Structure 1
């Protein structure tokens, strides 16, 4: 089996193809198919180069606060600004407050004041909205809008919740639930810098599970006992067969 699978003329074929190739070579024994399947499954090189699994191993858990993503986008923009980051902060925050969100279809500004913000360009260009602005009428209309604000916020909250439910349903419909136990051997997805070459292994390891933290998070160590820093999600792990 070793020669047919990974020898000079071997091509790391699967278990069924390996058993067929062994039969054509003149070999046979009662448990041939099972033995060939197990051998191909435990091949380390096959496990290192196999495709990444696409089915999610854990249910999707939605984050209802947008702040982590806002801060990530803010940090990215500030990194590009370098020395002029102080001038960029008001622009980024203003853009976020005046942009309709995909979840609520409302801008954060309108959910606070129940009115659309007037961007600086509208003032500079003397837009119709700016030219027809009347303070007394605006104040009266704002009071009415504030009285209706609770209803608008509740509607926006329901829209956001419904969208997250739809996303969760679509994501979980492809779910292939599996969990790792302490002392299980696993392989980990290779980092981007480990995939510089076309034939670089897509998985690294094996590693040993040292602790299950819940919600698909695990701590790892090498087989020599060296602790792997950070926690690792189940989407980046798979069982290692030895």
Structure 2
């Protein structure tokens, strides 16, 4: 009830005049008559009691995401025309460019994909969708607030592509006030670092203290950082993304879990995998995939999905061994 009351006060502040009046029972006769009218007039109807089960509270906020449509024409138009109808632009240079690029693209169910050197084909999107995907990855619900190369790499690892992805990511970072304010300071060691190796997840942890940060409720200014050596799973917050929490002032504790989730679902250079995939055997979905649905979301089947998850767990040991080799080579 306290949450409902807070919402009433919040909505009331948006009106010029807002009053709550208590009506005595003697002045409520019309409402009483209306409530009894159905029982008096429709006596011949069945006295069925219909029960509606509300699965969610009306006070809870719901995330509504509308699919983003691309503008037309865009950079994909010429490629699609060539792949479908073998139609080339009138300009000779542009036609030659399309002819050279076309082998790297393929149409699947009428949707354009680009062949990738790192894995499966990636979904091609236009400028409108590109802006929304970058915004979601950089400053969305699970905000990354990282450098533009990391952001562009994550977007491509998720499975999206457009020709100017790197430049657009750089523009997003340069326009972000929080990223500029909390830009990382180089603290390169004076002496060579001694690599610490571990063979399996959660066998060895590193613990440190980060701070001081803006004091939140309770006067908390410091964080205890715990990170697994093998999977790079962050159990608390690392200093590299202080900009992700700088926007929230003294309410940064409430946003901490979102920042941690973003770290756990970002590919690490040392292992070539995300922390999430090395633990659960699969990649986690992110809100950006709701804005521009991928093929795995459009063809989701609960029964076959459960079977696939179990198969991933069976092959997880091999995946971890490969990650350990990559980490050793990297160090």
TM-score by length of 1: 0.39
TM-score by length of 2: 0.29
Flag the structure with larger Rg. 1
